[in-house]
Structure 1
Amino acid sequence: MGLKSFVEVPRESHFPLENLPFGIFRPKPSPGAAAEAARPGVAIGDFVLDLSAVAAAGLFDGPVLRGSECFFQTSLNIFLEMGRPAWKEARSTLQKILSADEPILRDNANLREKSLLPMIEVEMLLPIVIGDYTDFFSSMHHAKNCGTIFRGPENAIPQNWFHLPIAYHGRSSSVVISGTDIIRPRGQGHPTGNSPPYFGPSRKLDFELEMAAIVGPGNELGKPIDVNEAADHIFGLVLMNDWSARDMQAWEYVPLGPFLGKSFGTTISPWIVTLDALEPFACAAPKQEPEPLPYLTEKKRINYDIPLEVWIKPKGYDLPSIVTRSNFNHLYWTLTQQVAHHTINGCNLRSGDLLGTGTISGPEPESLGCLLELTWNAQKPLALSGLTRKYLEDGDEVIFTACCKGKDYNVGFGTCTGKVLPASS
């Protein structure tokens, strides 16, 4: 039996008492009214619990959170920086006050009305101030497929890939919340013959199915994070669509890597699902050959069994079509290895930093995490609602979702969505 809340939680909800993901919201304003301040909340069923109201009522009375201002902020950064003792205390308190047999909130009609808001009546915002954003390349299936497409099967995966979690530094200013439209980027593409490079709207706009870790406490400059302590620096995970202009990316990435082909937009889901909530879904990570260097060798290698789906809804269609079913457990390099490698040179992570996993592809044709792979770089068009797609077209809406299946409950992430708009003139 799952945990029981006094708040009605539909059976298929992503947000039962076992989950309680954190986000930042504000109530949708009434016509003519000024917008209210953004503040932290957790999802419970079809409601958002306002943590500022709960804190103002004195219900966070444990030794770590008592008197803290962390839930009166417009981002979660201060709460994240407080670390695992604060996260565990908050989760324990919230599960208690939302439980069916606890009267402190259940029987307080005034506080209940202040603190529980229907999700349809709120606007979700970026949950964190993102100082830095790093994107890894941690799926072996994705690396092999991309390498085969561009370099052939004999040179598919470079030698260094098996020794370190490759990554690049992304652009945090263009990270947006789910539901934000994405304007098709303009830029250069490969020249044809002796002509100048193509310039104009991207002709190969793609999605990338990723997740991202949200950094809690950071580390001091010059002091790396031990791989076996790295989990204490990860608050939780979000869904992430790292939109990619494949034609622009292919022309620009040698010798320094992605730039304009990636920096025009990255979408994340609004709810951060904590590692504590994901703990029941921990699983063994793939065996690594060769064995990594000592600073990347873990006492226990953990991945998570998180089923992932991608849907595309073309312009003018009422229903989306599923195009991908993958799983977080396909990642070759773990989250903790990514953190350890990121900091081994002394780089300082900070609260709210975003660490993308890279595209998460599986071994099966239906588990590929982007159109580059699904269409083999437009050589095999993808069937979609009676249409075909080589790459995304204007008006297409891309929808990611993820949901772990427990016994009589789910731990889900909601959705991560974005619609493609025409390029600016």
Structure 2
Amino acid sequence: MPPFDVPEGDPFGPHNLPYGVFSIPGTRERTVGVRLGDHVLDAGAAAHALGSPYASLLARPTLNPLLAAGRTTWSDVRRALTAWVTVPSHRETLEPLFHPLSSVTLHLPFEVADYVDFYASENHARNVGQIFRPDAADSLTPNWKHLPIGYHGRSGTVVVSGTDVVRPSGQRKAPADPVPVFGPSVRLDIEAEVGFVVGTPSNLGKPVALGDFRDHVFGLCLLNDWSARDVQAWEYVPLGPFLGKSFATSVSAWITPLDALEEARVAPPERTHELLPYLDDADEEPGGYDLRISVAINGHTVSEPPFSTMYWTAAQQLAHMTVNGASLRTGDLYGSGTVSGPAERQRGSLLELTWNGRDPLELPDGKRTFLEDGDVVTMSAWAPGPDGTRVGLGEVTGRVVAG
């Protein structure tokens, strides 16, 4: 099928147009691509062929120059791309610049500056509290409803979908063990998340306000925050996650621009506590996104977490992580935290799905409490689009291999 003739209902039609970076096998040259159906358009070559002023931004080996160009340019480039793939007069020029998705190699689409991860799902936080603090009067920590809890991760181990994940080793100590032991994690987990990609930087010492979210954040992608629960449990008292998280974070090869998700904007859950002014979004545009996520292990769906249930929004997370004056850099990535809904099959981690290993999952290839070597985890998602369409998010997948 010609690349322009996208089937009706395809979640990667001209209403979507996510950005990535690709290369053709046998070459070392990487360039920005835009996905249309099951093809990739060489965006830089298209811009050059059509005499576009955006060729210098799109004929690059990474999205960072486009990210840094700012919101006005993001919107202008998107309008141009939409015209290029929908106006019939461009077909003859652009058709040779499309490549079947199956014929290209996809790369990490942007150079990651800093990486921050949050803890924004009330369902997830309550589940974790009930698992580890079953006798507590409240399963949430006292600060949870007052601020988006987060931690700084390791940007250098953010990897693109399809990259194998080596089972990490580290110290672990079971409650009954007299001393810690060292070895491969035996409680390797996933966390289904959404990552937000920062384009426009900010100045050191100047917080970013809630209303400036869309001026700084370019788009979003699916994210798997791999977690070694046994390593994490031993190391995180009194500080936060470290080696139990920093070995790998997988992201999609495709970044969906926020402009493609206008129809998916929804109000977050009702606030139960009064918020400080810098987090109070009562008078802001709806900050939530209606993203329908699916998590599969070895091709078998185990969970369908709804992103619309997230208590803290991406705009609040951005405001909080800069309120102390910390500056943004082009390519900053921040994760939403595990996405979990109220139902059992809406939990976004194996920790919750198996209740810390107490209730194993029944899979076609055997029971699972945590991941085994050879397991392939795949996350996919879609959001409501214009006129009843669906906006597909690029999947993120990773296979566990022995260390």
Partner of 2:48: 56
**Among 323, 344, 349, which residue is 1:344 paired with?**
323
Q: Secondary structure at the match of 1:359?
A: coil
Distance 1:402 1:67, change over 3 A: closer
1:229 aligns with 2:205: no
Q: Secondary structure at the match of 2:58?
A: helix
- Cα distance in 2 for partners of 1:10, 1:265 equals 36
Q: Secondary structure at the match of 2:305?
A: strand
1:44-99: CA deviations, max 9, x gaps? Answer: 01111111101222442xxxxx2662112211111111111111111111111111
**Among 373, 392, 398, which residue is 1:412 paired with?**
392
1:283 aligns with 2:266: yes
- Cα distance in 2 for partners of 1:193, 1:325 equals 35
Does the 8 Å contact 1:226/1:340 carry over to 2?
A: yes
Report how far residue 11 of structure 1 moved: 3.7
Partner of 2:296: 311
Partner of 2:33: 41
1:186-206: CA deviations, max 9, x gaps? Answer: 111114546320211101000
The AA in structure 1 aligned to 2:288 is N
What are the residue-to-residue correspondences of 1:153-302 with 2, within 5 Å? 153-193=136-176, 195-298=178-281, 299-300=283-284, 301-302=286-287
1:371 aligns with 2:364: no
Partner of 1:327: 306
Does the 8 Å contact 1:6/1:106 carry over to 2?
A: no
Report how far residue 304 of structure 1 moved: 1.0
- Cα distance in 2 for partners of 1:292, 1:137 equals 17
Distance 1:106 1:364, change over 3 A: same
Partner of 1:125: 107
- Cα distance in 1 for partners of 2:128, 2:147 equals 18
- Cα distance in 2 for partners of 1:208, 1:15 equals 25
Identity %: 45
The AA in structure 1 aligned to 2:120 is S
- Cα distance in 1 for partners of 2:42, 2:401 equals 33
TM-score relative to the length of structure 2: 0.96
Distance 1:352 1:141, change over 3 A: same
Report how far residue 14 of structure 1 moved: 2.7
The AA in structure 2 aligned to 1:304 is Y
RMSD of Structure 2 on Structure 1 (CA) = 1.5
Does the 8 Å contact 1:191/1:198 carry over to 2?
A: no
- Cα distance in 2 for partners of 1:14, 1:253 equals 40
The AA in structure 2 aligned to 1:220 is N
- Cα distance in 2 for partners of 1:420, 1:186 equals 13
Equivalenced residue count is: 398
Q: Secondary structure at the match of 1:290?
A: coil
Report how far residue 289 of structure 1 moved: 1.6
- Gap runs ≥5 in structure 1: 30-34, 61-65, 314-319
Partner of 1:18: 15
Q: Secondary structure at the match of 1:161?
A: coil
What are the residue-to-residue correspondences of 1:92-131 with 2, within 5 Å? 92-99=79-86, 101-103=87-89, 105-108=90-93, 111-113=94-96, 115-131=97-113
Does the 8 Å contact 2:204/2:326 carry over to 1?
A: yes
Does the 8 Å contact 1:393/1:420 carry over to 2?
A: yes
**Among 341, 349, 364, which residue is 1:385 paired with?**
364
Report how far residue 388 of structure 1 moved: 1.0
Report how far residue 228 of structure 1 moved: 1.2
- Cα distance in 1 for partners of 2:150, 2:174 equals 28
Does the 8 Å contact 2:263/2:384 carry over to 1?
A: no
Q: Secondary structure at the match of 2:371?
A: coil
